[in-house]
Amino acid sequence: MSPSFHIPYILPTALLALALVLKLPTFLRASRDPDVRATTLLLIWATAVLVVITPVNIERLNVLTGIPNIASPWAYSFLTAFCATGLTMIMRWREAPSVRRRRRIRRIYWIYAGIVAVLWLTFILADVPTARVYDLDTYYAGTPWMREHILLYIAAHTVSSLVAVSMLWRWFPEVANRWLKAGVVFLQLGFASGLVFDGAKLAAVGARWSGHDWDVLSTQAAPPFALMEAALVALGFIVPQAGPFVQKWVRDRREYRRLAPLWHALRSLTPAAAEARFGPWTALDLRLMQRRQRIHDALRMLGPYLDPILHQRACEAAQARDAAQARDAAQTGDGVPDADGVAGAITISAAISTYQQGGPPVAHPQGPQGGAVVGGHIEGIASALHRPRILQDVRRRMTSTESAHHHG
């Protein structure tokens, strides 16, 4: 048996196992949440199906248990549980919580639990002494009780796929959330792949009954669609939950990095009492909250040294620079920070220098304190501090303007 034959099984199995591992922390934190619990169970059943149906594991089960074809009821039981969980999750998404929905979900679980019990019963009653790794369904298509065993799992899977596709098709136009809509698309593709799998299996089994050999439909055409279904349906339930989390993580990561220049400029001013050691594994949102808080604490400490007049002059010089660049087409589109951000960066840099050299605070006879002036432009200031050439240019303009005033 070539190891390359198992690669199509290994890849989706590894994907589902990874998704399950990533989902476990959420499950441990929110195990009482029905959606989290159902998603975790769905991943468990899908992973279990792919693990059991891998040819090498079928052979191992036969050897370990000493029961030929024991993988059949195991795999089909996990597949049936997967179908039931998928249907109930779609119902949870589509319908608001109600007594009616709860009863329908329970009814589905009981029906599919009964199917699992009958699968085991028919397997026990069937006479299947010859182990078949690849062509079990067609080899035993005419065997009493095993015939019913095979038809039962195909029928249960077909019904669940048809119902799921029908519900998703009707629900799709109503979905507004883009992540949920993407999940619905994955689910539709997944359950449609399941229907192709069922059609190929039924055609191969029916051909055996009529004396024809269409086994290739069961052994080669159907398995890829089963793998696609498991992966696509799992993605369909993962994407709507993981998508917003990843989107927020990217947004927080971008802001965390944008604030870095301002934080590095202010970190020497942060009171020792504010230091809280967060390790590299600390959640990003906590580290971002800490960075924001430290920046605001440092700005409050630096407030008496922030010069509103300097800020106004820097803002005017930055606006003049922006106007000059707007007239020069060759220099537009270089990602210049706004004038308030540049002015705030210059004002903060001057205040830090005064503070560190032990200079006197700035007098504020009228108008807002310096901290109030720069406090609303933190991201723009951080962006400006990352572009020292722009700050130098604005400082030169301020010096030139001041000299012109003096000469005038």
In single-letter form, the type of residue at position 89 comes to M
Q: How far apart are CA 306 and CA 398, in angstroms?
A: 17
- Site of tokens 């723009």: 380
In single-letter form, the type of residue at position 269 comes to L
The token pair that represents 151 in the structure block: 């038809």
What does the pLDDT profile of the chain (408 residues) look like in tens digits? Answer: 444 445 667 777 777 787 787 777 777 877 788 777 887 888 888 888 888 888 888 889 988 999 999 999 999 999 999 889 888 888 888 888 889 998 999 999 999 999 999 999 999 999 999 999 889 999 999 999 999 999 999 999 999 999 989 989 988 998 888 998 999 999 999 999 999 999 999 999 999 999 999 999 998 999 889 888 888 887 887 788 788 888 888 998 988 888 888 888 888 776 544 455 666 667 788 888 888 888 888 888 888 888 888 888 888 888 888 787 766 544 444 456 788 888 888 989 888 888 888 888 876 544 455 555 676 678 888 888 888 888 888 888 888 765 555 444
- Residue 312 is predicted with a pLDDT of 87
How many beta carbons lie within 10 A of that of residue 55, not counting itself? 15
- Site of tokens 């989107």: 247
**Which stretches within 66-145 are classed as H helix?**
71-94, 99-125, 136-139
What torsion do the CA atoms of 3, 5, 7, 8 make, to the nearest 10 degrees?
A: -170
- Residue 96 is predicted with a pLDDT of 83
How many beta carbons lie within 10 A of that of residue 379, not counting itself? 15
Residue 283 dihedral angles phi and psi, to the nearest 5°: -55, 140
Taking each helix axis as running N to C, give the angle between helix 71-94 and helix 34-53, from 0 to 180 degrees, rounded to the nearest 10: 150
How many beta carbons lie within 10 A of that of residue 175, not counting itself? 18
- Site of tokens 């399950």: 20
Question: Residue 219 contacts by C-beta under 8 Å, 6 or more apart in sequence?
Answer: 134, 135, 138, 204
The token pair that represents 232 in the structure block: 């696509």
End-to-end CA distance of the chain: 93
pTM of the predicted model over 0.85? no
Q: What's the alpha-carbon Rg for the chain, to the nearest Å?
A: 33
Angle at 365 between CA 313 and CA 371, to 5 degrees: 60
CB 135 within 8 A of CB 215: yes
Looking at the chain, the number of H-run helices and the number of E-run strands are 17, 0
The token pair that represents 335 in the structure block: 């990602």
Q: Within 13 Å, how many C-alpha atoms sit on residue 244's CB side? A: 9
Residues 325-355, buried b or exposed e (16+ Cβ, 10 A)?
beeeeeeeeeebbbbbbbbbbbbbbbbbebb
How far CA 159 is from CA of 44, 74, 83, in Å, comes to: 21, 20, 9
- Residue 384's H or E segment, with its range, is helix 378-385
Q: How far apart are CA 69 and CA 47, in angstroms?
A: 20
Q: How far apart are CA 115 and CA 81, in angstroms?
A: 9
Q: How far apart are CA 127 and CA 143, in angstroms?
A: 8
Q: How far apart are CA 302 and CA 282, in angstroms?
A: 28
- Site of tokens 């050299």: 357
Angle at 65 between CA 150 and CA 50, to 5 degrees: 50
Q: How far apart are CA 229 and CA 192, in angstroms?
A: 8
- Site of tokens 């034959």: 5
Question: Residue 189 contacts by C-beta under 8 Å, 6 or more apart in sequence?
Answer: 228, 232
